[in-house]
Chains A and B, each alone.
Chain A
Amino acid sequence: MPEITYREAISQALQEELNADERVFLMGEDIGAYGGSYAVTKGFLEAYGEKRVRDTPISEEAIVGCAIGAAMGGLKPIAELMTINFSLLAMDQIVNNAAKILYMSGGQVPVPFVLRTVSGGGLQLGAQHSQSLESWYAQVPGLVVVAPATPYDAKGLLKSAIREPNPVLFVEHSLLYRVRGEVPEGDYTVPIGEADVKREGKDVTIVAYLRTLGLALEVADRLAREEGVEAEVVDLRTLRPLDLEPVFASVKKTNRAVIVEDAWQTGGLSGEIAGRIQDEVFDWLDAPVKRLNAPDVPMPYARNLEQLALPTADQLYDLVLETLQ
């Protein structure tokens, strides 16, 4: 199987779906002539033309609202918001329209479209370009929220998202674009709404998604090497609908759980997951469920401060050991 980057995997999925279905088109800021701010759609304008690769004004609300209308009219739009920070300008469309139209219409009007966006900090982009807001959207009934952490999942989940009959927020992470992994050529899908055990283990469960999956796997390797501890790592992959069955099954085996995410702790997904673990498998727990999140501060610019504002492998390592004591 060829090894390609997360960026290339997403690009492949887009191209394959553009080739497969004439109704699929892309719209967003600087996706065409510029080639995409993360170069995901480089060369697309030349290959597919202006009808299907549409550069938009910097008008986030119109981008998302137009995609909603186009979906209602029978197209399969893939809209792009350059970063999740800018999605705040389109929140009315995402939350009040995309997530509500099927319900408000009594089931008459589906809104099948994909909204791709980029989350995360770590590149010294400051407070307004470094947020991880995907957990906000994961609270909204009517939305599907997908957050792949590997090239394989990115391609397979994006294909599922494009074929999904519901609005999908497809969250990519800015630090993952260069990550490499094995990805099949041609068509395959990864189902939406299924978490995935990325590493098996018997001693402790680590729940992660997006960038923190890499942290979890790195820490699991170190724990095995240095402490003889076998951690099981569950990658959520979809944040809504949230598939916690693999987490519950894992906790029944390991009796311990640590959740790690880049979002702020207050009101984050980690609290929801911890609560659900206690609802479902409390009797199997041998230690309190632990959470590692970003501290509740805006993202600072200075490199040393930014590093303090994101969960680290060392912090995760220590927290896992704490639950094992």
Chain B
Amino acid sequence: MATRLPGAPALEREQLLDFLYQMLLIRRFEERSAEQYGRQKIGGFLHLYIGQEAVAVGAVAALSPEDYIVSHYREHGHALARGCDPKRVMAELFGREGGVSRGKGGSMHLFDKERHFLGGYAIVAGHLPIAVGLGLSGQYLGQDRIAVAFFGDGAVNEGAFHESLNLAAVWKVPVLFICENNQYAMGTEISRVSAETEVYKRALAYNLHAEQVDGMDVVAVYEATKRLAERARSGEGPMFLEAMTYRFRGHSMADPELYRSKEETQRWLGRDPIARLKDRLENADLLREEEYTDLDRRAREAVDEAVRWADASPPPPPEALWTDVYVGRGPVRGRDHA
């Protein structure tokens, strides 16, 4: 059996199989999340990452474990790619005490400080200046770490996007902005609301080094991220990566998808990042069908286990309502002044 993929000589077979496993894990996790939402185990909003797996998996694999990551509200994939325990991520979706954010964040606010995964944020572009600050802290303290922010094409028309890119560039902050351009800001197609639809060009206006990459190709995303992360790390200032991708499901569970055609979705389904990597590996004689089946079975089992574990985790105790409002001072509740 071959050991290297043509065109990607730097990647070991083991790593490529791991990419495949992680994308399958995210895919199966999201499918089960949708099902659990239907059973009302999960409340509120649920934004599925299905279709975009190559971006999270490729990008996060290219980072150091010390690098900071912040993300938007479609962040289950980034958290899982970062190594957050699927059991605890599912428990967070269930609103249970065992959740990564102890049930107080929910689907849109996953935090895992140990892994420097510093949050999903639900105000569009609101986390981009935070990424600049995280990058600044590394630069200020002389640490060998960068900050990475994931966001969508919807974020690029917010003031926070422009303010953040400019500030990062002026201060040469080691931050990598990764725009997952899935062509739709909720239900609005990018050309209807963006005068410049090639997002990376906006970054060029702030003198960032900016590139576009095929976000349905996990190897391409990995290589681009690796290159840009190293440039940011070595003091070249902020970097920008636009990953061209597509979400196969609706914006959230309530989305009837009236704004796009079945034909368009069908076309993108033909570029499914999981099927593409599988085919590429098989064609290069790096993967056998039974190995793929085995990876998928492992992913499904991990997700089954996550659902069981989440369901067994208790809800947060009522007292948790009042904790974590402040560090080191009692909750400020009604008539108390503590």
Contact = CB atoms under 8 A, between A and B. Distances in A.
A200 to B, nearest CB: 21
Contacts of B136: 66, 69-70, 73, 75
A141 B332 contact: yes
A105 B337 contact: no
A325 interface: no
Contact of A65 (B111, B118, B133): B133
A215 interface: no
B310 to A, nearest CB: 15
A66 B167 CA distance: 9
B123 A92 contact: yes
A66 B131 CA distance: 7
Interface stretch (B158-166, B193-201, B207-215, B283-291): B158-166
Interface string B109-143: 10111000011010100111111111111101100
A108 B328 CA distance: 13
B334 to A, nearest CB: 9
Contacts of B65: none
Max chain B Cβ within 10 angstroms of own Cβ: one of A71, A73, A280: A73
A241 B337 contact: yes
A119 interface: no
Given A51-B140, A62-B164, A166-B327, A97 B130 contact: yes
Interface stretch (A8-16, A53-61, A128-136, A226-234): A53-61
Given A57-B163, A75-B137, A66 B326 contact: no
B121 A97 contact: yes
Nearest to B333: A141
A315 to B, nearest CB: 29
A56 B132 CA distance: 13
Contacts of B315: none
A69 B327 CA distance: 17
B68 A73 contact: yes
A57 B118 contact: no
A241 B133 contact: no
A106 B337 contact: no
B325 A105 contact: no
Interface string A40-68: 00000000000100101101011111111
B337 A103 contact: no
A71 to B, nearest CB: 7
Contacts of A302: none
A240 B324 CA distance: 16
B102 A107 contact: yes
B325 A142 contact: yes
Contacts of A165: 326-328
A223 interface: no
Contacts of B130: 65-66, 68-69, 72, 97
A145 to B, nearest CB: 11
Interface residues of B, number: 52
B103 interface: yes
Contacts of B129: 61-66, 68-69, 93
A93 B133 CA distance: 12
A96 interface: yes
Nearest to A111: B327
B250 interface: no
Given A68-B130, A71-B133, A142-B326, A62 B337 contact: no
A105 B105 contact: yes
B102 A106 contact: yes
A160 B137 CA distance: 22
A57 B126 contact: no
Given A75-B141, A92-B123, A243-B337, A103 B132 contact: no
B335 interface: yes
A71 B126 CA distance: 16
B337 A242 contact: yes
Closest 6 interchain pairs by CB?
Answer: A69-B133, A65-B129, A73-B137, A106-B102, A62-B163, A105-B111
A133 to B, nearest CB: 19
B103 A106 contact: yes
A110 B327 CA distance: 7
B329 interface: yes
Contact of B123 (A70, A75, A96, A280): A96
B137 A241 contact: no
A104 B105 contact: yes
28 contacts: A57-B167, A62-B160, A62-B163, A62-B166, A65-B133, A66-B133, A68-B130, A69-B137, A69-B147, A72-B118, A73-B68, A73-B137, A74-B137, A93-B129, A103-B324, A104-B119, A105-B101, A105-B324, A107-B324, A108-B112, A141-B332, A144-B326, A166-B329, A193-B329, A193-B337, A240-B332, A244-B337, A279-B335
A56 to B, nearest CB: 7
Contacts of B123: 92, 96-97
A198 interface: no
B157 to A, nearest CB: 14
Most A C-beta atoms less than 10 A away, residue of B100, B138, B170, B327:
B327
A165 B327 CA distance: 6
B99 interface: yes
A109 interface: yes
Contacts of A110: 327
A245 interface: yes
Interface in B238-257: none
